[in-house]
Amino acid sequence: METEFRALAELCEKLEATSKRTLMVSLVAEFLKHLRDDEVEPAISMILGRAFPRWDQRTLEVSWATMSGSIKRLTNVDWKDFTKAFSKTGDIGAATKIMFESSRIQRQATLFEKPVTILEARRSLEAIAETSGYGSRERKECLIETLLGEVTPLEAKYIVKIMIGEMRTGFHEGLMELAVSKAFNVPHDVVQRASMLTGDIGEVAAIAKTRGREGISKLQFQVFRPIKPMLAQTAEDINEALKEHGGLTAFEHKLDGARVQIHKAMNKVRIYSRRLTDVTASFPEIVRLTREEVKASEAILEGEIIAVGKDGTPLPFQHFMRRFRRVHDIEEMVKRIPVELFLFDLIYIDGKSLIVDPYVERRKKLKEIAGNIPLTRQIITSSPREAERFLGEAINKGHEGLVAKKLDSPYTLGVRGKRWFKIKLSLEPLDLVIVAAEYGYGRRHNWLSDYYLAARDSESGEFLVVGKTFKGLTDEEIKDMTRRLEEAAIKEEHRRVVVPPKIVVEVAYNEVQKSPKYKCGMALRFARIMRIREDKSPEEADTIQKVRKIYEKQFEKKAIYR
């Protein structure tokens, strides 16, 4: 007999109610034990808030407008009540449940329906994902309404959460690995390794259930299944990286483009982004290049794609993004925004995983098979002076900085550790003024935690927004800030309050981008508040003229795209 979706919703409700990790793991393990073989992967994906396994490229493409339209029609409840329920709970799923509960029609209907099973829910999600093209919005709505029309308020809560991809039960993938290990009696490290290699714990669990430890020990990388990339920690400077790596290390130029994982099997090539989505269609020339140059039947390679100007110098990141998101008129964009690939790692080749091999060995093999594709520039040194010079060279060439890589380090999938350090020259922080703020989501839904930051126009005296951030302040500071801003509010619009420009904050950021979002035409990228400058008045804050100067200076090093 198929397991009812209700059981999964009840499990998630229990997970949400506790923060005890051991209890969570036991609850999930117990649940997994009683599933049919074909229910294991769908159930695991859903518990983790995904419609499909991680490597699966299908997406639901359901906007909030579509979803809320369906909820409105199904429940026939005044929409103001939804907004109220959302403000109270800070959670769309929980607000949906409240709506369903107050809708009598809904409750009566479900008394006579056959309960929806986990597999039926998965099939509905598949049907939604597969609906595309003309009229797809109406068809998606119809599918959503059929599914939601058959379920109880509690089930609706979790179906909506799965569709928007936000579970918020606190039960993450790491805990799922423990639960799978417990449920199917396979050592935790074996589960972990298999999950890393295949990129999906759901599939690993299904194999653990049917074929046990032996089955999952045999799992290997599979070409066209993207894997989680190794990540870098930030080092303050070159000396820190050298010291942590035992006095000798490899430095590579850190390019400011997009990280790509390239999978090749014979003539077939696919390119995945850092977030593991398939971006092959955006880069036909990289596909051709890989096919022609890479000397291996099967390979998983990593590198950075950057946009280059007419003289071959790198362009600011934002130009590149135009290319990355592009899905139409690709060949035209190939000509207008040329890109270049620089490889920096080799993870798998012709049936053999290289992840346990030391970095230097992987790089050597990479060089052997890369043909005419350039590798990121690299030096191996113990000299801080030589490394400083290399950093200067990277910056002068328009790159972001350096990555230091420990010579004997394995490739640690998905881990941000000290084996890779990024070293950047950061831009000087700005003192900006808070002019408005928004209430956050989830845990922060009662706090004004998202701040609009403005710089003063020295000519008109007006404060112009240059960015927005929810990063940098501690919970205590946010609470205190909420109180101050609520008291000072001169206007409230939905979840936003507008305040007079009074509070000055010091803001770090990575780049000033051109942006139509704000009146001044610029926006800070990755803004984060370093501290509140109680000692500064708004008149002493930095000016929009200074921000513009910083923006223009970036171009001195990077060619301007025309």
CA distance 385 to 240: 13
* Of 413, 311, 302, residue with least CA distance to 362: 302
Q: Is 232 in the site for ligand AMP (CB under 6 A)?
A: yes
E runs forming strands in 146-248: 231-234
Minimum CB distance to ligand AMP smaller for 304 or for 438: 304
β-pairing, 298-307 with 258-265?
antiparallel
Minimum CB distance to ligand AMP smaller for 110 or for 233: 233
Q: What's at 414, amino acid-wise?
A: G
Point out which residues pair with 307 in neighbouring strands.
339
Q: Is 450 in the site for ligand AMP (CB under 6 A)?
A: no
DSSP label of 3? P
Looking at 304, 438, 506, 542, which residue binds ligand AMP (CB under 6 A)? 304
Minimum CB distance to ligand AMP smaller for 68 or for 233: 233
Size of residue set near ligand AMP by CB under 6 A: 13
CB atoms under 10 Å from CB of 399, counted, come to 26
List the x/- string, 420-439, binding to ligand AMP by CB under 6 A: --x-----------------
Looking at 122, 168, 193, 254, which residue binds ligand AMP (CB under 6 A)? 254
Q: Is 415 in the site for ligand AMP (CB under 6 A)?
A: no
243 is catalytic: no
Task: Return the residue nearest ligand AMP (CB atom).
Answer: 259
CA distance 542 to 545: 8
DSSP label of 251? E
- From the candidates 254, 405, 424, 558, which is the catalytic residue? 254
Q: At what angle do helices 79-89 and 92-102 cross, to 10 degrees?
A: 140
Minimum CB distance to ligand AMP smaller for 370 or for 433: 370
E runs forming strands in 386-521: 401-405, 416-424, 430-439, 448-456, 463-469, 491-493, 496-498, 504-508, 511-514
Cα 437–Cα 438–Cα 441 angle in degrees, nearest 5: 145
Looking at 14, 259, 525, 546, which residue binds ligand AMP (CB under 6 A)? 259
Footprint of ligand AMP on 274-293 (CB under 6 A): 274
Looking at 252, 298, 431, 542, which residue binds ligand AMP (CB under 6 A)? 252
Looking at 231, 360, 379, 560, which residue binds ligand AMP (CB under 6 A)? 231
Site stretch for ligand AMP (CB under 6 A), options 13-21, 220-228, 249-257, 484-492 = 249-257
Least Å from the CB of residue 52 to ligand AMP: 24
Looking at 8, 44, 255, 512, which residue binds ligand AMP (CB under 6 A)? 255
Site stretch for ligand AMP (CB under 6 A), options 74-82, 143-151, 253-261, 545-553 = 253-261
Looking at 158, 251, 317, 344, which residue binds ligand AMP (CB under 6 A)? 344
Minimum CB distance to ligand AMP smaller for 160 or for 232: 232
Residue 29: enclosing H or E segment and its boundaries?
A: helix 21-33
Residue 164: enclosing H or E segment and its boundaries?
A: helix 153-164
Minimum CB distance to ligand AMP smaller for 202 or for 314: 314
Least Å from the CB of residue 232 to ligand AMP: 4
Q: What's at 105, amino acid-wise?
A: I
CA distance 556 to 437: 34
CB 82 within 8 A of CB 102: no
Tokens standing for residue 309: 């100007």
CA distance 349 to 244: 30
Q: CA of 148: how far to CAs of 77, 89, 117, 156, 252, in Å? A: 15, 21, 13, 6, 52
Catalytically active residues are 254
| Contact positions vs ligand AMP (CB under 6 A) | 231-232, 252-255, 259, 274, 304, 344, 376, 403, 422
